[in-house]
Structure 1
Amino acid sequence: MSDDLTREQSIKHIASIIKDVKFAMLTTVTDSGHMHARPMTTQQTEYDGDLWFIGGKDTEGVHDMGQRPQVNVSYSNPDDSNYVSLTGTAELVEDRAKLDELWSDFYKTYFEGGKEDPNVQLIKISTHGAELWEGPGKVKALYELAKGAVTGKRGDMGNNETVNL
């Protein structure tokens, strides 16, 4: 991505990369100061600079975000050789309309009381930076790896960019 992209253009580009990734890894800092990553289901809303997740109020991750809101969310799409790491600030939100928007029956597996379960917690991540790795795709990557092995020269393995949001 070019340095002269606007914030909106950067967000749209990131959105195009993460839109079909089903799970993200959300990293928090624990009470003991260690980083801990856990899988979270990606919501079916378009990324607009904020990410939304649903978690349990009684979980360590939600506790961590309540104490130390600086987080990282990473997305991996190895089939397309695309990876995104987003930094941001977590906020624990109570918003019935947003919960209605994001809820799917999938969550009944985690919350016996459905949307009414008192343990349901909305998590909003306001992102402020990203690092992206965009690969050439499987076929070209294999070609570039083979070419590099034969010639001893570095192949074209895609782009790596850092973006302030």
Structure 2
Amino acid sequence: MSQVNTPEQSDLSREETIKAMTEVMKNVPIAILTVITDEGHLQAHPMTTRQAEFDGDVWFLGGKDTKQVRCMAARPQVNVTYADHGKGAYVSISGEAQLVEDRAKLEELWNDAYQAYFPGGIDDPSIQLVKIEAQGGEYWGSDGKIKNLFAQARAAVTGKPASDLGTNETVEF
């Protein structure tokens, strides 16, 4: 995995960037998973996330009979986004979806809240584990809303682009 920085970005290490991404992922209960439809369109779906640590893989539980799972089976390129608006932190992960059958992983991820989607519980035959193998990711973090508002206001008054609006890091897996 390598890290790519542009002049506008901070200089977080690769490990610090992944740690920051993990923190956002742990604190955001709903991620947005975007798939490519049969017509070639992008379609986004909210997905419950239970990401404890991010090691390059993101896991979800989906329904075998859902459009999103069918789309991932046919076109595995996906994107997953997390937004923690309160902290001004955002993560985007592009990767490849894999449909997996793994009872141990299912038991690790299972939470009784999934009962609402899978009435048969953990043994519901319609459960499909979805593993997103990250190919790249991006993290955005701000130092706070007030600081950003002042920077934006200063830019509007001076006519100069806002600078120092936070951190932006890109990693490849």
TM-score above 0.5: yes
Aligned to 1:82: 89
Q: Which runs of 5+ in 2 are unaligned?
A: 6-10
TM-score (norm 2): 0.86
Q: Distance in 2 between matches of 1:132 and 1:45?
A: 17
Q: Which moved more, 1:51-60 or 1:124-133?
A: 124-133
Does the aligned pair in 2 maintain the 1:80–1:137 contact within 8 Å?
Answer: yes
Does the aligned pair in 2 maintain the 1:12–1:48 contact within 8 Å?
Answer: no
Q: 1:136 Cα deviation (Å)?
A: 2.2
Aligned to 1:160: 168
Q: CA RMSD in A?
A: 1.9
* Number of aligned residue pairs: 164
Percent identical pairs in the alignment equals 52
Aligned to 2:19: 12
Q: Which runs of 5+ in 1 are unaligned?
A: none
Specify which structure has the bigger relative contact order, considering alpha-carbon pairs within 8 angstroms and separated by 6 or more residues. 2
Alignment partner of 2:138 out of 117, 122, 131: 131
Which whole-Å deviations, capped at 9, do the CAs of 1:50-74 have from their partners, x for residues lacking one?
Answer: 0000010010000011111111001
Say yes or no: does 1:141 pair with 2:173.
no
TM-score (norm 1): 0.90
Q: Which moved more, 1:87-96 or 1:152-161?
A: 152-161
Which whole-Å deviations, capped at 9, do the CAs of 1:24-58 have from their partners, x for residues lacking one?
Answer: 11011111111111000111421111000001001
Q: Which moved more, 1:140-149 or 1:32-41?
A: 140-149
For 2:168, the aligned partner's letter is N
